A and B are shown apart, each in its own frame.
Chain A
Amino acid sequence: MTQQLALSIVGSGGDGAVAAGDILAMACARDGLHVIKTEAYGPQIRGGESSCTVRISAKPIFAQADAIDALIVFNWADFARFRSEIVLSPTAVIVHEADDPTPDEIASSPSRRVIPVAFAALARDAGAPNGKNILALGLLASIFGLPADAIRAAIEKRFAKKSAAVLEGNRNAFDRGFALGEELGLPVAKFLYTATTSKLLMSGNEASAVGAVDAGCRFFAGYPITPSSEILHFMAEWLPKLGGSCLQTEDELAAIGGVVGGSFSGVKSMTSTSGPGLSLMAEMIGLASMAEVPAVIVNVQRGGPSTGLPTKSEQSDLLHAVFASHGDTPRVVLAPVDVEDSFHITVDAFNIAEEYQLPVIVLSDQSIAQRRETVSRESLIHDVVSRRVASPEALEDFQRYQLTEDGVSPMSMPGMAGGMFQTNGLEHDERGRPSSMYIVHERMNEKRYRKLDAIARHYRLYRRFGAEKPEIGILCWGSSTGPVREAIDVLTAEGLAVAAFVPRILMPLPAENIQQFVNSCAELLVVELSFSAQFHQLLRTQIDLPRAKTHVYARSGGKALGVTEIIDQVRRCTAGTEKAEEVLA
Chain B
Amino acid sequence: MTTCESVYTPNTYKSDVKPVWCPGCGDFGVLNSLYRALADLKCEPHDTVVVSGIGCSSRLPGYVETYGFNALHGRALPIASGVKLASPALNVIAVGGDGDGIAIGGNHFLHTARRNTDIVYIMMDNEIYGLTKGQAAPTTPLGDKTKSTAYGNPESPVDPCGLAISFGATWVARSFSGDVKGTTDLIKKAIQHRGFAFLNIMSPCVTWRGDDQFKILRAKVRPISADHDVKSREAAMRYTNEQDIVTTGVLYAIERPTLVDEMLEVRWKAQGDRQPPTRTDLLKAFTPSF
Q: Does B80 contact A (CB under 8 A)?
A: yes
**Given A153-B290, A249-B111, A414-B49, CB of A422 within 8 Å of CB of B69:** yes
Task: Please provide the chain B residues from 59 to 73 with a CB less than 8 Å away from any CB of chain A in the complex.
Answer: 59, 61-62, 65-72
Contacts of A419 in B (CB 8 A): 46, 67
Tell me if B78 and A154 are in contact (CB < 8 A).
no
Residues of A within 8 A of B70 (CB): 422-426, 434
Contact call B2/A26, Cβ cutoff below 8 A: no
Residues of chain B lying within 8 A (CB to CB) of residue A126: none
Q: Give A207's nearest chain B residue, CB to CB.
A: B286
Minimum CB–CB distance for A222 against chain B, Å: 12
Question: Contact at B51–A261, with CB atoms within 8 Å?
Answer: yes
User: What is the bound-complex CA distance between A291 and B51, given in angstroms?
Assistant: 13
Q: How far is the CA of A251 from the CA of B69 in the complex (A)?
A: 21
Known: A201-B288, A245-B263, A415-B89. A261 touches B2 (CB 8 A): no
B82–A243 CB distance below 8 A: no
Are A422 and B47 in contact, with the CB atoms below 8 A? no
What 0/1 pattern do residues 398 to 427 of A give for CB contact below 8 A with B?
100000000000000011111111111110
Q: Among the listed stretches A168-176, A181-189, A263-271, which one makes contact with chain B, having 4 or more residues with CB under 8 Å of it?
A: A263-271
B259 to chain A, nearest CB (A): 8
Does A247 contact B290, Cβ atoms closer than 8 Å? no
Q: Are A206 and B286 in contact (CB under 8 A)?
A: yes
Interface centre among B68, B78, B85, B89 (most CB of A within 10 A): B78
In the bound complex, residues from chain B placing their C-beta under 8 Å from that of A26 are 288, 290
Q: Are A154 and B86 in contact (CB under 8 A)?
A: no
Residue in B74, B81, B270 whose beta carbon sits within 8 Å of that of A261 in the complex: B81
A210 within 8 A of B: yes
Asked if B180 CB lies within 8 Å of chain A CBs, one says no
Residue in B closest to A160 when the chains form the complex, CB atoms: B290
- Chain B residue nearest in CB terms to A395: B1
With A259-B82, A262-B83, A264-B79 in contact, do A415 and B90 touch (Cβ < 8 Å)? yes
Closest A-chain residue to B104, C-beta based? Answer: A253
Query: Is B15 at the interface (CB under 8 A from chain A)?
Result: yes
Residues of B within 8 A of A380 (CB): 283
Whether A433 sits at the interface, judged by CB under 8 Å, is yes
B266 on interface, CB distance cutoff 8 Å:
yes
Q: Does A520 contact B (CB under 8 A)?
A: no
Q: How many residues of A contact B (CB 8 A)?
A: 72
B290–A219 CB distance below 8 A: no
The reply to whether A269 and B266 form a contact with Cβ atoms under 8 Å apart is: no
Minimum CB–CB distance from A142 to chain B (whole Å) comes to: 20
Given contacts A242-B276, A261-B51, A291-B69, contact A267 B267 (CB under 8 A): no
At the interface, yes or no: B226 with Cβ under 8 Å from chain A?
A: no
A383 at the interface (CB under 8 A from B): no
- In the complex, per-residue mask of B34-77: 1 if CB is within 8 Å of any chain A CB, else 0: 00000000000111110100100001011001111111101101
Question: Chain B nearest CB: distance from A409 CB in Å?
Answer: 16
* CB pair B107 A261 closer than 8 Å: no
Kindly supply a per-residue 1/0 record for chain B positions 94-111, scoring 1 wherever the CB is within 8 Å of any chain A CB and 0 otherwise.
000000000000011011
**What's the nearest-Cβ distance from chain B to residue A548, in Å?**
47
Are A262 and B85 interface neighbours, CB within 8 A? yes
Of A29, A213, A267, which contacts B86 at CB under 8 A? Answer: A267
Contacts of B263 in A (CB 8 A): 240, 245
Determine how close the nearest CB of chain B comes to the CB of A219; give it in whole angstroms. Answer: 4
A105 CA to B77 CA in the complex, in Å?
60
Contacts of A421 in B (CB 8 A): 67-68
Beta-carbon contacts under 8 Å, B231-290 to A: 263, 266-267, 269-271, 276-277, 279, 282-283, 285-290
B45 closest partner in A (C-beta): A420
User: Are the C-beta atoms of A415 and B108 separated by less than 8 Å?
Assistant: no
- CB-CB under 8 A from A291, the residues of chain B are 69, 71
Cβ of B192 within 8 Å of any chain A Cβ, yes or no, is no
Whether the pair B3, A254 counts as a contact (CB closer than 8 A) is no
CB of A375, distance to nearest CB on chain B (Å): 8
Given A26-B288, A414-B46, A422-B70, the answer on whether A434 and B1 have CB atoms closer than 8 Å is: no
Nearest chain A CB to B149 CB, angstrom units: 27
Query: Would A242 and B277 be within 8 Å (CB), given that A418-B3, A425-B70 are in contact?
Result: yes
Q: Which residues of B contact A154 (CB under 8 A)?
A: 288, 290
Chain B nearest CB, measured from A575 CB (Å)? 44
Q: Is A287 an interface residue (CB 8 A)?
A: yes
B17 at the interface (CB under 8 A from A): yes
> Nearest chain-A residue to B274 (Cβ)?
A241
Q: Which residues of A contact B279 (CB under 8 A)?
A: 214
CB neighbours (8 Å) of B83 from chain A are 261-262, 264-265, 414
Q: State in angstroms the CA–CA spacing of A3 and B108 once bound together.
A: 55
A229 contacts the other chain (CB 8 A): no
Most-contacted residue by chain B among A154, A247, A420 (CB, 10 A): A420
Q: How many angstroms from the CA of A243 to the CA of B84 in the assembled complex?
A: 15
**B82 contacts A257, CB within 8 Å?**
yes
From residue A195, how far is it (CB to closest CB) to chain B in Å? 12
- List of B residues within 8 angstroms of A423 by Cβ: 68-70
A61-87 to B contact mask, C-beta < 8 Å, 1/0 = 000000000000000000000000000
B residues 1-28 in Cβ contact with A at 8 Å: 1-4, 15, 17
Q: Are A416 and B46 touching (Cβ within 8 A)?
A: yes
Are B62 and A434 in contact (CB-based, < 8 A)? yes
CB < 8 Å neighbour of B78 from A150, A258, A375: A258
Q: Quote the shortest CB–CB distance from B32 to chain A (angstroms).
A: 18
Residues of chain B contacted by A30 (CB below 8 angstroms): 288, 290
A238 contacts which chain B residues (CB < 8 A)?
A: 277, 282
Closest CB of chain A to B76's CB: distance in Å?
Answer: 9
Task: Determine if A231 is an interface residue (Cβ-Cβ < 8 Å).
Answer: no
Select the residue from A210, A284, A415 with max chain B CB neighbours within 10 A: A415
Q: Complex Cα distance A583/B251, Å?
A: 67
Tell me the B209-234 residues at the A interface (CB within 8 Å): none
A254: chain B residues at CB < 8 Å are 75, 77-78, 81, 107-108, 111
Residue from the list A251, A258, A426 in contact with B79, Cβ < 8 A:
A258
Residues of A within 8 A of B277 (CB): 238, 241-242
**How far is A199 from B286 in the complex, measured between Cα atoms in Å?**
9
With A210-B282, A261-B78 known as contacts, the answer to whether A198 contacts B72 (CB < 8 A) is: no
Residues of the A chain whose Cβ atoms lie less than 8 Å from the Cβ of B72: 257, 283-284, 287, 425
A240 contacts B46, C-beta separation under 8 Å: no
B87 within 8 A of A: yes
Within the complex, the shortest CB–CB distance from A577 to chain B, in Å, comes to 46
CB <8 Å contact, B17 and A241: no
Contact assessment for B69 and A253 in the assembled complex, using a CB-CB cutoff below 8 Å: no
Name the A residues within 8 Å of B86 (CB-CB).
218-219, 245, 261-263, 265-267, 269
Residues from chain A with Cβ under 8 Å of B45 in the complex: 420
B2 CB to closest chain A CB, in angstroms?
7
Complex: A266 Cα to B46 Cα, angstroms: 13
B46, B78, B283, B290: the one within 8 Å of A420 (CB):
B46
Known: A258-B85, A265-B49, A418-B46. A251 touches B107 (CB 8 A): yes
Shortest C-beta distance, A479 to chain B (Å), equals 20
B67 to chain A: which residues have CB within 8 Å?
414, 419-422
Give the chain A neighbours of B282 by CB distance below 8 A. 210, 213, 238
Give the distance in Å from the alpha carbon of A256 to the alpha carbon of B81 in the complex.
11
Besides A221-B82, A284-B72, A420-B67, 17 other CB < 8 A contacts? A156-B290, A198-B288, A243-B276, A249-B111, A253-B75, A254-B108, A257-B75, A260-B82, A261-B78, A262-B87, A269-B82, A375-B286, A414-B49, A415-B46, A420-B2, A423-B68, A425-B72
Contacts A/B (CB < 8 Å), 9 sampled: A198-B287, A214-B279, A242-B277, A254-B108, A258-B82, A265-B82, A291-B69, A415-B46, A422-B62
* Residues of B bordering A, CB below 8 Å: 1-4, 15, 17, 45-49, 51, 54, 59, 61-62, 65-72, 74-75, 77-87, 89-90, 107-108, 110-111, 263, 266-267, 269-271, 276-277, 279, 282-283, 285-290
